[in-house]
Amino acid sequence: MGKILCIKRDLLFHHYYLNGFISDCVDFNKQIQNHWFYKERNLVENDFSIKQIVPYIMIIDQDKNQVFCYKRKGNEKRLHDKISLGFGGHVEQSDKSIQIAAIREVKEETTLENFEIKEIGFLNLDSDEVSQVHFGVVFVVFVDREKVQLNGDENKSGAWLDINKLDKVKFETWSECLKIVLSKQS
């Protein structure tokens, strides 16, 4: 396992503690840029004094008002079989920024090559052991669902869901929070 981007919890929340989602009105990017470090993933997975920075990307077809959802598999065993609204991954040392890590994740999970990615805010929940050690920088990619194919084992059990009907689905913790955000914006 390689080193991943981290920040000490007390430095991240020095000015403002976040529990939920917030748009860019609080600049956590500045806190991250001023206090980040890389550390071996296996050393921080259960260290609640450190937050691992994770870009979390939702793929949305605005014309059809749908978001891509899938049943989790992948490396994070604590999230297996939970339904997710987005893709996430750790920021590796080879990534030059959180946004570049987000772009890498989209390219790993889809066939998209040319796309616009937009940061929409930050997500922090301390309600379970996975969330307690992760801090999300939330992005969206707007696509025409007919022009995108999804890669990887994680996506084989995925589907496009109407944003207005997300309340009928039980998601993993972060997606539960973000489905409310999406419903308000649609």
Upper half-sphere CA count for residue 45 (Cβ side, 13 Å): 11
pLDDT of residue 110: 85
- Residues 9-14 have a mean pLDDT of 95
SS3 93: coil
The per-residue pLDDT for range 53-104, each reduced to its tens digit, is 999 999 999 999 999 988 766 555 554 467 889 988 999 999 989 999 999 9
**Closest C-alpha among 154, 184, 180 to residue 68:** 154
What is the pLDDT, as a whole number, of residue 80?
Answer: 47
Find the distance separating the first CA and the last CA of the chain, reported in whole Å. Answer: 39
How high is the mean pLDDT of the chain? Answer: 88
Phi, psi of 24 (to 5 degrees): -65, 10
Q: Which two tokens stand for residue 166?
A: 């997300």
The single-letter code of the amino acid at 87 is F
Bridge partners (DSSP) of residue 139 are: 57, 119
Q: The domain that contains 85 carries what CATH number?
A: 3.90.79.10
**Residue 98, domain extent:** 3-185
Q: How many domains does the chain have?
A: 1
Compute the distance between CA of residue 36 and CA of residue 142 in angstroms, rounded to an integer.
29
* Percentage of residues of the chain with pLDDT beyond 70: 89
Tokens of 176: 């539960």
Q: Give start and end residues of each alpha helix (H) in the chain.
A: 9-12, 28-35, 41-44, 98-109, 173-185
Nearest 10 degrees: Cα torsion 170, 13, 91, 109: 20
